[in-house]
Structure 1
Amino acid sequence: MKQFFPNTMSSFYWSSTSYAYDTGYAWGVYFTYGYDNYDDKDSSYYVRAVRGGQCRSFDNLVIWPPQQEQTTQYQQPEQTALPPVLSIEKISFSEKVLDALEQAEIEVTLKNIGPGDAHDVQALFSTDTDGIDLPESVRYPVIAAKEGQHTIRVPVKTSMQLPDTRAEITIQIIEPHFKVKIQGKRLVFSTRAFKQPELQLVKFAVTEQTSNNNNQQIDINEIIDVKFVVQNLGKGSASDVNIQIQSPQKGVMLLGLVEGNKLIRKPAHFSHIAPGQYRVITFRYFVNSEFSGNTLDFNIQGAEKYQKFGFKTTKSVAVNTTLKPEGRIQQVAFDDQADQGSVVIEDTPELIADIDQSIPKTRMKNPHAVALIIGNRDYKKTDRVKYAINDALSMKRYLIEVMGYDASQVFLIKKCQ
């Protein structure tokens, strides 16, 4: 019987009743053999008195192990999974017109009115417009049942290759566990192609500023002003423009950039030069006695934000020769009419996206496999394949989710020549 009393410390225990008529005797219980014994406590070699008690009389002796606070762990019953019921609550786009080299944001809000939470919901994005870059898919966190909502914000970037067009971004929503798909939405908006600036030095002159002999010529020990005009001859605005000047010759000392009545030792900077606009820049120099050349040489450089549409040029001025300005400011024709087209969100025809919505997800793994997918939309001798890129994206998802390819080893080329 001892196995039924795992907390006992001996095979025999004395009762602790107060009814014993002779304190030298008491009832004893053998746990090992399961019977009781009336014995002399003094002559017993057993180890320890019982901690329990006595109920009513010796004939109803009750012995129990020490009481312990027990915490019962109740296992939650396994609930039957219930499906979500999803809908697109709102789609918004941050720009009315998307310019090249601009970043925008799409917001997609989903609502779940179903009885079950929505897990692993994905928004899939695709576009056939060149110069637009956005994620192929974005995963939602869990969307709670019964009116739960969540909004994702998806960055949209553009490159210099963006054309003037009406662009489309297709949005699909899928939930893999209950095979839920929502009819696709198509986001339609205007884009504006990159209009490049073109900075040019269009006019240049050197004048005497402080001289003992104002003869309209450069002499030794004379302060001169190097003046020139930088004009934007391109179709697009130039931003973050910096103009620098250097003279590599000994004896030609730069005093600084002339700004009002001040000389500042820094390059000329302009935050913005619109198409056709120009800026007049003056740098002041001192020609000292160490100068021994026949011409003054100035290296002039203009740069803008993209470091692509500036200029580098060297201008030379003869010493002891009458100073004459060169060049002229030019007239530039440009179109600054912005396309203020509206943003349209419309349903996608059901047949467009059916091809890629029933892709299951398996546990197959192919970590060493490599795939190259070419989604060519334009061909020389046949009509344009409108949904080629969308189909290529579907094939990429199939290889990753069904065939177990590593996403980093599936390469997609959207334009192949």
Structure 2
Amino acid sequence: MRLLVTAILMLAAALPAQVKFKFGAIKDQQQQTKAAEGPADIYAQISFKDENSNGILENRENAVVTVKLMNKGIGDAQEIKVSLVEESATPDPNIYIEKEKTIPRLRPREEMKVEFKIVAGKKVKSAVRKFAIKGIEKEGYDMETAYLELSTQEFEPPKLQFSGLEIIERGEGLYPKKSDGRLEKGERVKVRVMVQNVGLSTAANVRFAVATSTENIKLAENEGELGDIRSGDVKELNFIISPNNRVEASGPLPVYLSMEDATKDGVIRAFQLPILLDQKPEDPKIVSVEAKPTQQKQVTRIQFTGSKSSALADGYVDIKDVPASKTENPNAVAVVIGIENYQNVPSAPYAANDAEIMKRYFENRLGISRDRILLFTNEQVRGIFFKKMFDPERGTLSTYVKPGETDLYVFYSGHGMPNKAADQTFLFPVDGDKEFLEESGYPLSKFYENLNKLNAKSVTVILDACFSGASRSSAQIKEQNLIAAKGIKLKVTKPWTTFKNFTVINSSTGEETSLGFDESETGLFTYFLTAGLKGEADKNKNREITLGELKEYVTTNVTQVSRRISGTQTPEFDGDPNRVMVKY
């Protein structure tokens, strides 16, 4: 036997080199055949994410398209060339996209992802541009083509504008001769100047300087920083002025304001302030900043040609996927109300959806036990529901609250109603009658008063409702008047500011309309609130979301997106900004 083995080895050694190579080639070919046994079957998940998460690529903004490929076949996928190519005959040269990327091999049940960075230049135009997303596999087992409909927004610069001023005569180091709101020779007073950004972009890192062309006017504290001024926002600056007895001026004093932001897009140069001797300044003039026709309303979308591809986020956060957090609050209770289909007034689109999804966030993100989350929608909220729920002595909620121990949450989505005098506002049941508002509505003042009387450890109220007298609208749903005087100036107070441990979050100010968001089929506010609670608001990435972080994220995004839908919506947050809402 040993002699036979030796003979075989000697024979193999004597074979020509090319023959030995053929043995290796046959082996390699067998391995390749084995790797290619059966077809590859490529599935894809695609997402789009821009820096401010509003689904629109704005000038000088970056975005990322992520393509996650999965091989659900039984053979290897080889050399998958993934590309993102614009289909327009006239591509925008101000949109920069990374080139084709290759995945060398994708084995069965394996997943890999590639990312394409997109950058918009300053001169990008407002448009919706279509890009084909392709994955070409070497052996022909290609990915189904998908399409990115990229919404871009051209540059709308910030515009800083003087709004008004007033004379402040009381304070340390000031010397007024009279307290009449007028400036006289020989006085030393403070001038408070109001400046508004009437442009559509944020003016970042704004600085100011006040100067005079005469030595007879002394200025102090006349340079400084104002930080960022968002579109529509008003900020105040203060400086000290003292005209001596030699000042001669028949019109405005020679005092000039200059301002500029970091990019020098929003600039005020040597604007002569209307400061007159012995005359009271005019009242400030604040303007409403509305979207222009060039403002993009459609968000970026992803379309698919088959069933093997899906969107990870479709331009936005998937708020319906609610992962569990580390937050536990066994003593908490939540009342969740959503009224959409009103009987006697126009509907509140998506309000019932708001309640359904918030129930899941109270459970999975805020750690409230499922059996302590009380959900009520539409027909369940009729008649004297609010009284039966919130009465501090006989109401349903009183049986759940242990004084000093229970964290109480209330979420309401639906119509809010102001009375004709605009001095009282009401929560409105599904069968409410606006002609008998005092009888069928539930006064917001009574609502807060009764919550306070429950003596809970803490109270958090979240309202996705407006009290402007208009119905909820969206990009696809027109606004309707609920009362004769829409947009009235409310004369109501905020009683919760005097209560202990209250956090109150309103979806808009009293004169604004709270909008719906068609993409998520929720309220615009509820969408960004839940996205924030899911983790988008965690600015410092420490796995904790504070009320302050949530406020910044929600307010910034709701304000930006609302202007592209229908006017401005500005959420309001009252409470401790350091309060940790979610740990995950």
- Provide TM-score, normalisation by structure 2: 0.37
Structure of higher RCO (CA pairs closer than 8 Å, 6+ residues apart): 1
Greater strand share, 1 or 2?
1
Task: Say which one has the larger Rg.
Answer: 1
